[in-house]
Structure 1
Amino acid sequence: MHFLSKVIVGAALLGVASVVPASSQVKLDGYFLAEEACPAFKSFRKQTNPGSVHVERMRAYELLGKNKAQASHYFIRMNGVNPAERWVDVSCGLHLVEAEGSGQTAGNGSGGSAGSKVVRPAVKGPSADAEFLLAASWQPAFCQTHQEIPECSSQVEGRFDASHFALHGLWPQPRGNFWCGVTRAEKRLAEERSTRGQLPPVELEDATREELDKVMPGAQSHLDRYEWVKHGTCYSDSAEEYYAESLDLMEQLNGSAVRDLFASNIGEVLTTAQVRAAFDESFGAGAGKRVEVRCKGGLITELFINLKGQIEQDTPMSELLLAAKPVQSDCQGRVDPVGFN
């Protein structure tokens, strides 16, 4: 694979100038990258959280400041919530800043100078050390909370994504490795679903486009453009390579005992143990330990699949799974059928 050499960390915001209120003692530049879905407080001292807002894991937010030099909380700005300025615990994520001319992004996860580190780009070029996360959605569950978007309003029982996993994305790791060589204007368009259609179309071969439209129903609302701009640019300089290899992984997943387990239990509850056992059956003993089963509202919404190694078309997923790091997971949920409850 051939990769771009520049990494830029993008915020999930418009990048406007920040004003830190008097309550924030130390102004900071850069971004806060959430590593966990932590609460975002209006007041961390009083633990007030209007709207029960949480930061989204693996998302970057504009960083305004911290409460003191040896901080306990970062002050960030979030779009779409009121109030937009919120406090999050420093243990929830990383302080990231662009390192001029270095091709690296400096990160400080401690709130001070101690514990500072460099968050490097994903390994570029062929490497057995490269790490990735394959996010595979169970689309009917996703659509329960996104009923108005095209891929959900058009979903019917006989469509592929009603009984197979849908591609959310293939994400180079570590977390925060996204927006490689992407302009600020492109990031702004990508962050809002309503403006993603203004991004340049993803150029693919006809066969790849046909398969992607089937396996990634979100392409109806330009998810393909978003995933390419945010994650694919850190994977390859070729969208064809990025999506062809993503689709090959999805074909292996949808041809496995994992998909059979879900398809034969639509409307029923599955546990993490059952899902992991199906991974072990198809991809080797221990493969299931590399998979996080994600649930929301009593439904299984997504699988986060840890992978490690050089990905090419026809690379066995078993090799990539067994080389990856184990991950904790403990949820159970219903396999949602098509239709809105």
Structure 2
Amino acid sequence: MHFLSKVIVGAAFLSAASVLPAASQVKLEGFFLAEEACPAFQSFRKQTNPGSVYVERMRAYELLGKNKLQASHYFIRMNGVNPTERWVDVSCGLHMVEVDGSGQGADNGSDDSSGSKVIRPAVQGPSADAEFLLAASWQPAFCQTHQNLPECINQTGERYDADHFALHGLWPQPRGNFWCGVTEAQKNLTDRENRHRLNSIRLSDQTRAELNKVMPGAQSYLDRYEWVKHGTCYSDSPEEYYAESLDLMEQLNSSAVRDLFAANIGEVLTTAQVRAAFDETFGAGAGNRVQVRCKGGLITELFINLKGRIEPDTPMSELLLAAKPVQSDCQGRVDPVGFN
């Protein structure tokens, strides 16, 4: 956008956010870019505005936080007014963040080697109406057609993904909601032979260990690819994206669905059987939100429709039952480890 160079200059003086007042529940990084001249309240509940202060259109302000996850107001600092800390309606502007030249946030856990900086709007947290697709792979079937990948070469019958679902990805919908704030240079690195050149992502030790177990494709940098393509449209934080993806996978792998697959390795399952297992664990009708995908006579993947705000420990049953039903009619064998 044509005004971004001005924004960078205007934001250069901004300092780190201070401790938030009790009314502000969520701390934010970055800055607020005013798109309209809106009142800046001392108290948005009481509509008090000492000095009748307004934010100036296309000016950047230090951003301290917001009043709640699904916010109505941002908390900003305005130098030269009294009091300096004010509340402004979220509809008046944008939460902006500085990102590195790869399109990944400089403070979002991504390593930056380019040194270049750009500005883009921050990804807003999922809303109550947000839709997602959780893609859960049956890894032995995937490996039948990808035998040269590291995670397939070293797969064994004792490994977790031999009889549990593997994380392919959590995809914000609708289809095509990809590459949020990602540069063309990064998109050009997403073929399998180039994914190792994508910026690495920093995760907590616990999340990294769990991800390596549940996403064996991380051995061939699937974690980097899924983050840059889908995760950037979900969150500003790889930690949040993968921690919440893993929580959903834990619910799936602790369900009657996983038990059904594990008990029928080498046998054929129908969509009706898989959907019945979803209904058993997650409630009547949950299975109608699941597409069973087959290829070459094997069940390769489950596409699970979800709708709602995904937060730590959100019950998958709520997300499933709020989602749209989907057509599915395939049946296939539950593939064991090993190449046919």
Same fold (TM over 0.5): yes
CA distance in 1, matches of 2:319, 2:312: 12
CA distance in 2, matches of 1:263, 1:253: 13
1:293 corresponds to which residue? 292
Do 2:126 and 2:234's aligned partners in 1 also have CA atoms closer than 8 Å?
no
- SS across alignment from 2:227: helix
Is residue 319 from structure 1 mapped to residue 327 from structure 2 by the alignment? no
CA distance in 1, matches of 2:199, 2:205: 17
2:172 corresponds to which residue? 172
TM-score normalised to the size of structure 2? 0.64
1:250 corresponds to which residue? 249
Is residue 140 from structure 1 mapped to residue 133 from structure 2 by the alignment? no
List, as ranges, runs of 4+ consecutive aligned residues in structure 1 with deviation greater than 4 Å.
Answer: 1-4
- SS across alignment from 1:171: strand
1:182 corresponds to which residue? 182
CA distance in 2, matches of 1:299, 1:268: 10
TM-score normalised to the size of structure 1? 0.64
Structure 2 counterpart of 1:157, one-letter code: G
Is residue 277 from structure 1 mapped to residue 276 from structure 2 by the alignment? yes
Do 1:3 and 1:234's aligned partners in 2 also have CA atoms closer than 8 Å?
no
- SS across alignment from 1:189: coil
How far the C-alpha of 1:150 sits from its partner, in A, is 0.1
CA distance in 1, matches of 2:339, 2:309: 40
Is residue 161 from structure 1 mapped to residue 164 from structure 2 by the alignment? no
Identical positions, percent:
82
CA distance in 2, matches of 1:229, 1:127: 21
The superposition leaves residues 51-80 of structure 1 with CA deviations (integer Å, 9 ceiling, x where unpaired) of xxxxxxxxxxxxxxxxxxxxxxxxxxxxxx
CA distance in 1, matches of 2:29, 2:221: 23
How far the C-alpha of 1:126 sits from its partner, in A, is 4.4
Do 1:139 and 1:161's aligned partners in 2 also have CA atoms closer than 8 Å?
yes
CA distance in 2, matches of 1:151, 1:256: 25
Change in Cα spacing, 1:182 to 1:126, as seen in structure 2 (3 Å) is: closer
Structure 2 counterpart of 1:302, one-letter code: E
- SS across alignment from 1:261: helix
CA distance in 1, matches of 2:210, 2:124: 26
* Larger relative contact order, structure 1 or 2 (CA cutoff 8 Å, min sep 6): 1
- SS across alignment from 1:328: coil
2:151 corresponds to which residue? 151
Change in Cα spacing, 1:3 to 1:147, as seen in structure 2 (3 Å) is: farther
CA distance in 2, matches of 1:238, 1:3: 12
Q: Which has the larger radius of gyration?
A: 2
Do 2:294 and 2:331's aligned partners in 1 also have CA atoms closer than 8 Å?
yes
CA distance in 2, matches of 1:126, 1:291: 21
CA distance in 1, matches of 2:299, 2:124: 33
How far the C-alpha of 1:132 sits from its partner, in A, is 0.2
The superposition leaves residues 223-256 of structure 1 with CA deviations (integer Å, 9 ceiling, x where unpaired) of 0000000000000000000000000000000000
Change in Cα spacing, 1:126 to 1:177, as seen in structure 2 (3 Å) is: closer
1:238 corresponds to which residue? 237
1:131 corresponds to which residue? 131
How far the C-alpha of 1:3 sits from its partner, in A, is 12
CA distance in 2, matches of 1:207, 1:276: 32
CA distance in 2, matches of 1:236, 1:125: 6
Do 1:290 and 1:325's aligned partners in 2 also have CA atoms closer than 8 Å?
yes
- SS across alignment from 2:188: helix
CA distance in 1, matches of 2:125, 2:225: 23
2:221 corresponds to which residue? 222
Count of residue pairs the alignment pairs up = 226
CA distance in 1, matches of 2:209, 2:285: 34
CA distance in 2, matches of 1:287, 1:222: 32
Structure 1 counterpart of 2:165, one-letter code: F
Structure 2 counterpart of 1:269, one-letter code: V
CA distance in 2, matches of 1:186, 1:210: 26
How far the C-alpha of 1:124 sits from its partner, in A, is 3.5
CA distance in 2, matches of 1:152, 1:143: 5
- SS across alignment from 2:189: helix
Change in Cα spacing, 1:174 to 1:209, as seen in structure 2 (3 Å) is: same
Structure 1 unaligned regions, length at least 5: 5-120
How far the C-alpha of 1:147 sits from its partner, in A, is 0.2
How far the C-alpha of 1:313 sits from its partner, in A, is 1.0
User: For the aligned residues, what is the CA RMSD?
Assistant: 2.2
2:305 corresponds to which residue? 306
